[in-house]
């Protein structure tokens, strides 16, 4: 039986990955593939409630508490949504996953990277994406795309943005087979072309 394919979409805020995930979904469905879209934080059910806390809670959230909330949501997403879909042979497209915690809580907030890797592993039960696409943008492009309606994470500032961006580039350097960086300052069409080229190499 087809074992399915797990593709994750990553990048700093305003990188345009949500647009690209929808375009890839459409492309794959037109090829007759069964596609499941999910996101972290979020997914559905309990995940959406965790998302609500993470993005809208306006009291104090400690950095470690924030990490555990993302991880709890991840465990739920993997167990309840991702793994069953992969077992049915579907292509799962996930908007953010483990690398977000490494980039945001690790490189961004400065939490210990080894500990984050260990916790990520615990949350996923060791399941890794087949490929991860990192949509790379500079802060100017990001600010134009995000606009004025910022959530709690998006309000963290320029220095934080650059730490997160650099974090993603470091992740890509350390795992070049899994993680592919795409220059996302370009047009939607050009970026989509690169996405398709990478995904087609997976022999779907």
Contact by Cβ (8 Å): 47, 77: yes
13 makes contact with ligand TYD (CB under 6 A): yes
Q: Which is nearer to ligand TYD, 104 or 168 (CB)?
A: 104
41 makes contact with ligand TYD (CB under 6 A): yes
SS3 call for 136: strand
Q: To the nearest whole angstrom, how small is the minimum distance from the Cβ of residue 105 to ligand TYD?
A: 6
Residues 138-157 within binding reach of ligand TYD (CB under 6 A):
151, 153-154
Angle at 70 between CA 69 and CA 76, to 5 degrees: 90
104 makes contact with ligand TYD (CB under 6 A): yes
Q: Which is nearer to ligand TYD, 6 or 104 (CB)?
A: 104
100 makes contact with ligand TYD (CB under 6 A): yes
Tokens 């596609």 locate to 35
Q: To the nearest whole angstrom, how small is the minimum distance from the Cβ of residue 116 to ligand TYD?
A: 9
On the 0-12 / 13-18 / 19+ scale of CB atoms within 10 A, 187 is: exposed
10 makes contact with ligand TYD (CB under 6 A): no
> Which own/partner contact pairs does 59-63 have at CB distance under 8 Å and 24+ positions apart?
61/152, 63/105, 63/109, 63/110, 63/111
Angstrom distances, CA of residue 56 to CA of 23, 158, 176: 28, 20, 34
129 makes contact with ligand TYD (CB under 6 A): no
Number of residues counted as binding ligand TYD (CB under 6 A): 15
Query: Which residues here bind ligand TYD, judged by CB under 6 A?
Result: 13, 18, 40-41, 55, 70, 95-96, 100-101, 104-105, 151, 153-154
């Amino acid at each position: 039986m087809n074992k399915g394919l797990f593709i994750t979409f990553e990048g700093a805020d305003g990188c345009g990955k949500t647009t690209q995930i929808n375009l890839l979904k459409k492309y794959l469905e037109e090829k007759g593939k069964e596609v499941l879209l999910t996101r972290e934080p979020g997914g559905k059910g309990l995940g959406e409630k965790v998302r609500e806390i993470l993005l809208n809670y306006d009291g104090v959230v400690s950095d470690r508490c924030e990490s555990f909330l993302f991880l709890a949501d991840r465990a739920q997403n993997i167990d309840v949504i991702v793994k069953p879909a992969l077992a049915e042979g579907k292509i799962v497209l996930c908007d953010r996953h483990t690398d977000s915690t490494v980039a945001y809580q690790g490189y961004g907030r400065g939490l210990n990277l080894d500990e984050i890797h260990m916790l990520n592993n615990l949350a996923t039960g060791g399941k890794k994406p087949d490929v991860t696409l990192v949509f790379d943008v500079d802060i100017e492009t990001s600010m134009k795309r995000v606009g004025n309606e910022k959530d709690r994470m998006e309000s963290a500032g320029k220095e934080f943005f650059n730490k997160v961006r650099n974090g993603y580039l470091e992740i890509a350097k350390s795992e070049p087979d899994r993680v592919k960086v795409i220059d996302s300052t370009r047009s939607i069409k050009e970026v989509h072309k690169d996405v398709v080229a990478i995904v087609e190499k997976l022999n779907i």
